[in-house]
Structure 1
Amino acid sequence: MEFDRSGVDALMDITKRPELVFVRGQGSWLEDHTGKRYLDFMQGWAVNSLGHCPPQVVKALSQQAEQLLNPSPAFYNAPSMALATRLTAASVFDRIFFANSGAEANEGAIKLARKWGQLHRGGAYKIITFEHSFHGRTLATMSASGKPGWDTIFAPQVDGFPKARLNDLASVRALVDEQTVAIMLEPVQGEAGVVPATTEFMQGLRKLADEQGLLLIVDEVQTGFGRTGKLFAYEHSGITPDIMTLGKGIGGGVPLAALCAREAVSVFAHGDQGGTYNGNPLMTAAGVAVFDALTAPGFMASVNARATQLSQGLQALSDKWGMKGERGMGLLRALMLDRDDGGAIVEAARDWAPEGLLLNAPRPNLLRFMPALNVSADEIDAMLARLDEVIDKIRAGAVLTAP
């Protein structure tokens, strides 16, 4: 089948896309319109926590679609209550608000913190965030993000997001004033290149927040739902956040996110928060299926075993090619390159024949890996072997074209 460009011009041009159309997927594999297969270590940017078209999610969606799609958030529905109950039982939070995307959940967290500041901190509204952070693409979440250049794209920004430096507690403390209401961070900065916050830093933030009467918000849109080897990344540091956001992996591929808060922080009045599709039974039924799969006996142990395998494999590649090591938590990992050829590696891996490999380079000198949480040991070995071949090809080409 040839690539049909007739539909391309109808789509808004918002990113560079290769001329291929994915038509089906199963587990760690995708297939395009020509029948070519790709081993997927992006999984929709950590969205497909159980891989493509997992049977549990397909079954949950099919059964729920025959019963009830969306009665409106003005009424209760069983799947949303079932998922909310699971989340509160498995975490330190008491209340859940379901949304459709991580950005929407983070927008809700910002609103909730500001409402709490109105009620308990004299109208304080500033939320300290971090350089190189990523919290979404709404105006407020872009303003909260520390991604370079985002302060001018849609200026003026939403006020109230001073930026500290990750793992530098003094830089956070220096920004606290009478208008500060909260501190918000990703436990692992994904778009920045998979940079984990240290345990000492997370614990220091909790202590600082307690000392100053501030809220601590963890953005777990990318790190939540098993991605780091625990159900939630905050568990690694043994702290109790006040607010947490979830997205990506919570729906296993469908649009679902969550704003989670402790009871004392759940201060929305009726009408403060809502959304036409929020908490609809179709998406939350998928969330229940994903949650139950992740919390089944032995599942997280397998995630950690595969994480160790991936970490060791990436380090071996780094040693072989003279790169700068690997880092990350669980199955969210990065290979730090010794030169800016990440984009070339991604393209060469994708175009490799007869089967492609899907990788991500959020920075020119870094590759990010976000496989399905149920990726197999053989699939990790296959990815590492193919990546080695691709690097060899790229580096050989670099030598041939060098002056």
Structure 2
Amino acid sequence: MNAYKEQSHIVQIYKRFDLVLERGKSVYLYDDKGQEFLDFAAGIGVCALGYAHKGFNEALKTQLDKLIHTSNLFYNENIAQAALNLAKASGLSRVFFTNSGTEAIEGAMKVARKYAYNKGIKNAEFIAMKHSFHGRTLGALSLTANEKYQKPFKPLVRGIKFAEFNNFESVRAKLNEKTCAIVLESVQGEGGINPAQKPFYEALRKLCDEKDILLIADEIQCGMGRSGKFFAYEHFGILPDVMTSAKALGCGLSVGAFVVSEKVAQHSLEYGDHGSTYGGNPLACAAVNAVFKAFKEEKILENVKKLSPYLEKTLEELVQKYNFVQKRSGLGFMQGLSLSPKVKVADVLSKARQNKLILISCGKNDLRFLPPLIIKKEQIDEMREKLEQSLKAFV
């Protein structure tokens, strides 16, 4: 069957690359013609373990033969272990499993609203950041500071104000007695690869403690090892009240989560306040547990820490070499190169695919680098070679 026939029956909301992918192995993808591509996108930060990972695949196959779904009317051992793994890794206490990142954000918003409601605050408000991206459902979209995404779907959730990222005074100026939470990505992704600054994060934590409002860290893209720590907020020496996770949490299986502190758990959602038919089912949680097992046994975090400086150095050298590559930014294996307006990022991505390198974009005109966390030094060198072949076309 011609894969392009899908266009006849699928809602056309994606501008797909002219590429039919059939299989993957390690950090490489293969199309329907057998061509090999070096993957530095990882399914938009999802495939932390690369492709055809033996232990991960075997765990899913084993669970498939046992039990896929029961609903949350019953206990299952996989969810208990997955919750323990995620709670220990995050430093928080209680986990709710969802099917996606945007659902995790929706749940976190409900947690914050209920926490405020229990204090007697009605019509509670949020402070989010400019250039943010938190998802496409109406609640998550309301926190996403992009008028292009929001305009056709208004009115959105009311009571959301946008402050300047890494500008504490801008946040404080938006604060009022109805504020229930401050929401931010520890490293901004879709809006451009932009890490939080340590003093900014510390000041937010202090403010939230003083005002008894919740600090919500969106770790959907930057979490699960991409920064060299399980969660990027660890770099800044703070602990949020609520954290959202997805993408690499399931390494390709659809699973997300929001995680809360014990204090928040005791003063927010109660029986009947929230739910999910599929969230936390045995198959999804088998995937989560397999990911944590692989991270431990294969020292995934150590690999990111070891190679991050080399990846940064490699990208910085491209900034120095090509005058239309303006700057590098990022943390760990979440990096971006900003291009001058005279070179369109879409054209560079197209040329990169011709040279058998898969990258994606972000921000206004940025290249985004989200490789599988298992890459080796020689694959960073291979990426540079292929990218340079692509960039030379624009000199």
With normalisation by structure 2, the TM-score equals 0.96
Question: Within 5 A, what are the aligned runs for 1:245-284?
Answer: 245-266=244-265, 267-284=268-285
Matched, 1:331 2:337: no
Question: Within 5 A, what are the aligned runs for 1:2-401?
Answer: 3-123=2-122, 125-266=124-265, 267-296=268-297, 298-322=299-323, 323-339=325-341, 340-352=343-355, 356-395=356-395
| Cα displacement string for residues 93-151 of structure 1 (whole angstroms, at most 9, x for unaligned residues) | 11000011000000000001000110025235111001110000100100111123233
Aligned amino acid, residue 385 of structure 1: E
Query: Shift in Å at residue 297 of structure 1?
Result: 6.5
Contact 2:362 2:368 in 1 (8 A): yes
Aligned amino acid, residue 329 of structure 2: R
Contact 1:124 1:178 in 2 (8 A): no
Deviates more, 1:20-29 or 1:215-224: 20-29
Distance across 2 between alignment mates of 1:223 and 1:362: 14
Aligned amino acid, residue 246 of structure 1: S
Query: Shift in Å at residue 54 of structure 1?
Result: 1.6
Contact 1:3 1:19 in 2 (8 A): no
Query: What fraction of aligned residue pairs are identical, expressed as a percent?
Result: 38
Contact 2:192 2:364 in 1 (8 A): no
Query: Shift in Å at residue 212 of structure 1?
Result: 1.5
Contact 2:357 2:383 in 1 (8 A): yes
Query: Shift in Å at residue 271 of structure 1?
Result: 1.1
Distance across 2 between alignment mates of 1:263 and 1:48: 30
Contact 1:3 1:33 in 2 (8 A): no
Query: Shift in Å at residue 364 of structure 1?
Result: 4.6
Distance across 2 between alignment mates of 1:4 and 1:68: 31
| Cα displacement string for residues 234-290 of structure 1 (whole angstroms, at most 9, x for unaligned residues) | 111111210000010100111011110011111211111111101001011111111
User: Residues 16, 210 of structure 1: CA spacing in aligned structure 2 closer, same or farther, 3 A cutoff?
Assistant: same
Contact 1:70 1:282 in 2 (8 A): yes
How many residues in Structure 1 have an aligned counterpart in Structure 2? Answer: 391
| Cα displacement string for residues 34-62 of structure 1 (whole angstroms, at most 9, x for unaligned residues) | 11111111111000011123212101100
Aligned amino acid, residue 292 of structure 2: F
Look up the SS of the partner of 1:7 in the other structure. helix
Distance across 2 between alignment mates of 1:18 and 1:149: 22
Contact 1:344 1:394 in 2 (8 A): no
Contact 2:227 2:332 in 1 (8 A): yes
Distance across 2 between alignment mates of 1:361 and 1:319: 20
Distance across 1 between alignment mates of 2:113 and 2:292: 30
Look up the SS of the partner of 2:310 in the other structure. helix
Aligned amino acid, residue 353 of structure 2: R
Look up the SS of the partner of 1:264 in the other structure. helix
With normalisation by structure 1, the TM-score equals 0.94
Query: Shift in Å at residue 4 of structure 1?
Result: 4.5
Look up the SS of the partner of 2:228 in the other structure. coil
Contact 1:325 1:335 in 2 (8 A): yes
Distance across 2 between alignment mates of 1:348 and 1:92: 43
Contact 1:124 1:181 in 2 (8 A): no
Distance across 2 between alignment mates of 1:124 and 1:264: 22
Aligned amino acid, residue 277 of structure 1: Y
Contact 1:341 1:364 in 2 (8 A): no
Q: Structure 1: where are the runs of 5+ without partners?
A: 396-403
Distance across 1 between alignment mates of 2:41 and 2:315: 16
Distance across 2 between alignment mates of 1:5 and 1:317: 36
Distance across 2 between alignment mates of 1:211 and 1:27: 47
Contact 2:193 2:363 in 1 (8 A): no
Contact 1:221 1:248 in 2 (8 A): yes
Query: Shift in Å at residue 5 of structure 1?
Result: 3.4
